[in-house]
Structures are given as C-alpha cells and as structure tokens.
Amino acid sequence: MDFDTPLFDSTLAEAWIRAAAAAVEKEQDRLTELDSAIGDGDHGSNLRRGFDAARTALDGFQPAGPGAGAVLTRTGTTLVSKVGGASGPLYGKAFRAVGAALPEPAGPAALAEALAAGLDAIRILGKAEPGDKTIVDAWTPAVAALRAAAAAGAPLAEATAAAAEAAEQGALDTVPLRARKGRASYLGERSTGHQDPGATSTALLFRALADVTRR
C-alpha cells in the first residue's frame, strides 16, 4: 500500500460518486446535445438517472472497512441496473473492477492501477481501443497521467488533477476521429467533427475525482 496523505478511502470514494452525480446533473444537457449529433441522444439522461440512483444507494450505506472498494462496487452494480444503453454496463463494469482492486485505502499508485483495471473492463466489454472515439479515448490518457504522476512521487490531489487534465484533453481529441464503435460508427465519416459523449462524461468523472481529492 502507498502511504501518501491523504489516501483514497471509502469517504473519498463516496464524495467522488456524489460529486460525479452533481457534475452529470449539471452537464446533462450538454451530454445529450453531443449524443444527439452522433448517437441516440440519451447519454445525458441515462447517466443522470444512473448516478442519481448511485447517490441514493449510498445514503446510509456503511462499508465494512475503510477501503473504497465497497462504495465503488455498490456504485457499479447500481449503474448496471439503472442506466440504459451502452454506458450503463460499461461504467458499471468499470466501477466494479475499480472497487475490486481497492479493498484498502490507496495512494496514487494503487489508485492508478485500480483505474487501469476499470479501463480493462471497459475495453473488454466494449471491444474498444484508443482511437475508436469512445470512453476509452479519455480513460486511457487519464490512467497514463495518474501512473506517471504517482511514479514521480506526486501526492494524491496532484496526481488526480493530472489525470483529469489528460481525460479532458482526450475527450477534445475525439473531435476529428471517425467513430469505429457503437451507434456513432454507423455514420462513417459524418461522425468526425463531433466530440464523443462517452469520452466527455469520462472527463467529468475524472474532474470530479480531482475536485474531491483536492479538498
């Protein structure tokens, strides 16, 4: 275990999910607008419903230990059951994988590896790779940035801030890409010129993580 102060524990995990829910609520219309251009137009509403349910699922929840695992596993299970479309299973599986990797409070390096496990879950389920214009295009650089910051000895807040910046840039970098997965791929060349909604919501999640670890 890393012994950075503070560590990512159940308290910060719950704060992250609540901050993520607030961010999705605030950006619901933007996510819907992005998805309307190249998808079904329901990404914002689906995610809001899921994260609202996740927030409710954590009301009064008492994890057995101080690790973030139980909180994130509960979140993932809720997202799988409450979010329609592709995003529910993808984010749900990701949070469950992250949770499984965090039984104890974690420093930046352990958190990076847990988030890498979440990325692996997304890639396996969605059969997506970097450049396909998906969630993966924001999550991949975020993990890489967090790993690099951890290796350089950065504290948790600094490491997660680097991850958030990388995720945001990754989302922006989807604009010129041609979608190769999901409904957007049906548009062919017409999918270029639009920012991917899944990568955008991923950036929101990583920014929420940075915000709660900075407090």
Instruction: Look at residue 187 in the predicted model and tell me its pLDDT.
Output: 67
Average pLDDT of every residue of the chain:
92
> Which among 144, 63, 69 has a CA at the least distance from the CA of 106?
69
**Residue 171: which CATH number?**
1.25.40.340
Q: What is the pLDDT of residues 23-70, one digit of tens each?
A: 999 999 999 999 899 888 889 999 999 999 999 999 999 998 999 999
Could you give the CA distance from residue 137 to residue 153 in angstroms, rounded to a whole number?
25
Find all residues with CB under 8 Å of 160, minimum gap 6, and list them. Answer: 108, 111, 146, 206, 209, 210, 213, 214
137, part of any domain: yes
Q: What is the pLDDT of residues 153-182, one digit of tens each?
A: 999 999 999 999 999 999 999 999 988 777
77, part of any domain: yes
130, part of any domain: yes
Q: Which of the two residues, 208 and 5, has the higher pLDDT score?
A: 208
3-class state of residue 144 by DSSP = helix
Confidence of residue 4 (pLDDT cuts 50, 70, 90): very low
Answer whether 0.75 is exceeded by the pTM: yes
3, part of any domain: no
The CA radius of gyration of the chain, in Å to the nearest whole number, is 16
Instruction: Look at residue 190 in the predicted model and tell me its pLDDT.
Output: 72
Mean pLDDT within 79-98: 90
Q: In the chain, how many domains are there?
A: 1
